[in-house]
Structure 1
Amino acid sequence: MNKTPCFPPVFSGSALRALGRLASVVLAAMMLLALVPASALALDTAKCTARPNGSTGSEVYGGTETRVTWEGQAAADEAITGLSIVFPRGTTFNDDTTGKARITLLTADQSQRLGFLDADYSLDGETFTATLDEPAQAGGYLRVEIYGVFFPVAGGEMALNGSYALEDGTTLPVEDIQPLTVTGVSTTGQITSWLSDQEWVQAWNSNRFLRMFLNPVIIVDSFPIVFQGFLMAVAIVAIAFPLAIPLGLCLSLMRMAKLRVLRGLASLYVNVVRGTPLFLQIYIAFFGLPLAGLSIDKFPLGVIVLAMNSAAYLCEIFRAGIQSIPAGQNEAARSLGMNAAQTMIFVIIPQTVRRVIPTMTSEFILLYKDTSMLAAVGVMEVVMYAKTIVASTGSITPYIVAACFYLVITLPLAKVVGRLEARLAGGGRRRKRQGGAGAARPLQGTDSAGVTAYVTDALTSQPVIKNDAPDAGR
Structure 2
Amino acid sequence: MANFIDITTYILKGSLFTIELYFATIIFCLPLGIIGALIKVSNLKILGRIVDLYTWFFRGTPLLLQLFFTYFGLPIIGIKFSPFTAAALTFSLNYGAYFTEIFRSGIQSIDKGQYEAAKVLGMNYRQTMSKIILPQAFKRIIPPTCNEGITLIKDTALVAAIGLQDLLRAAREIVTRDFTIAPFFIAAIIYLIFTSLIVMAFKKLEKKYSVYE
| TM-score for the superposition, normalised by structure 2 | 0.90
Asked if structure 1 preserves the Cα contact closer than 8 Å seen for 2:40 and 2:51, the reply is: yes
Q: Which has the higher contact order (CA 8 A, sep 6+)?
A: 2
Structure 1: segments with no counterpart, 5+ residues: 1-190, 193-216, 425-457, 463-474
Tell me the equivalent position of 1:369.
Answer: 154
1:395-425 Cα shifts (integer Å, max 9, x gaps): 232222222211111134346656877x69x
CA separation in 2, counterparts of 1:411 and 1:404? 10
**CA-CA distance at 1:360 after TM superposition:** 1.4
What's the offset of the Cα at 1:257?
Answer: 2.5
Whichever residue aligns with residue 337 of structure 1, its letter is G
In the alignment, the residues of structure 1 paired with residue 41 and residue 110 of structure 2 have an alpha-carbon distance, to the nearest angstrom, of 14
Structure of higher CA gyration radius? 1
Cα RMSD of the aligned pairs, angstroms, is: 2.2
Equivalent position to 2:73, from 269, 288, 300 = 288
Q: Which residue does 2:138 correspond to in 1?
A: 353
What amino acid maps onto 1:392 in structure 2?
R
Name 2:164's counterpart in structure 1: 379
Residue number in structure 1 paired with 2:41: 256
Matches within 5 A, 1:57-68: none
The change in CA–CA distance for 1:229 and 1:461 in structure 2 (over 3 A counts) is same
Contact kept? 2:33, 2:96, Cα under 8 Å? yes
- 1:250 Cα deviation after fit: 1.1
Does 2:83 align with 1:298? yes
Greater share of helix: 2
Distance 1:387 1:230 in 2: 13
Partner Cα distance (1:373, 1:461) in 2: 38
- 2:212 aligned to which of 450, 455, 461: 461
SS in 2 for 1:460: helix
Counterpart AA for 1:461? Y
Could you say which structure has the higher strand fraction? 1
- Shift of the 280–334 alpha-carbon distance from structure 1 to 2, 3 Å rule, reads same
User: For the Cα contact (< 8 Å) 2:114–2:133, is it kept in 1?
Assistant: yes
Among residues 81, 91, 99, which one is paired with 1:314 in the alignment? 99
Structure 2 residue aligned with 1:279: 64
One of 165, 177, 186 as aligned partner of 1:392 = 177
What residue is the counterpart of 1:265 in the other structure? 50
Unpaired segments ≥5 residues, structure 2? none
Asked if structure 1 preserves the Cα contact closer than 8 Å seen for 2:36 and 2:51, the reply is yes
Tell whether the 8 Å contact from 2:171 to 2:184 is kept in structure 1 after alignment. Answer: yes
Paired residue for 1:327?
A: 112
Cα deviation digits, residues 56-78 of structure 1 (max 9, x gap): xxxxxxxxxxxxxxxxxxxxxxx
After the TM superposition, which residues 22-421 of structure 1 pair with which residues of structure 2 at under 5 Å, given as runs? 191-192=1-2, 217=3, 219-414=4-199
Task: Judge conservation of contact 1:358–1:420 (CA < 8 Å) in 2.
Answer: no
Distance in 1 (CA, whole Å) between partners of 2:24 and 2:102 is 20
Q: Answer whether contact 1:374 1:381 (CA < 8 A) is retained.
A: yes
CA contact (8 A) 1:223 1:401 kept: yes
CA 1:375–1:258: 2 relative to 1, 3 Å: same
Counterpart CA distance in 1 for 2:130 and 2:62 is: 33
The 2-side partners of 1:460 and 1:383 are apart by: 40
Question: Would you say the 8 A contact 2:139–2:212 is kept in 1?
Answer: no
Give the partner amino acid of 1:388: E
C-alpha distance in 2, partners of 1:239/1:253? 22
> What whole-Å deviation, never above 9, does each CA across 1:307-355 have from its counterpart, x for those lacking one?
1111111111101110111112111111111111221122211221222
Letter in 1 for 2:69: I
SS in structure 1 of the partner of residue 211 of structure 2? coil
Q: How many residues align?
A: 213
- Distance in 2 between residues matched to 1:419 and 1:347, nearest whole Å: 21
Note if contact 1:299-1:379 (Cα within 8 Å) is conserved in structure 2.
Answer: yes
| SS of corresponding position for 1:338 | coil
**Structure 2 CA distance for aligned equivalents of residues 420 and 258 of structure 1:** 31
Contact 2:146/2:198 (8 A) holds in 1: yes
Aligned partner of residue 107 in structure 2, secondary structure: helix
Give the distance between the partners of 2:105 and 2:28, measured in 1 at CA. Answer: 20
CA spacing shift, 1:420–1:238, aligned 2, 3 Å = closer
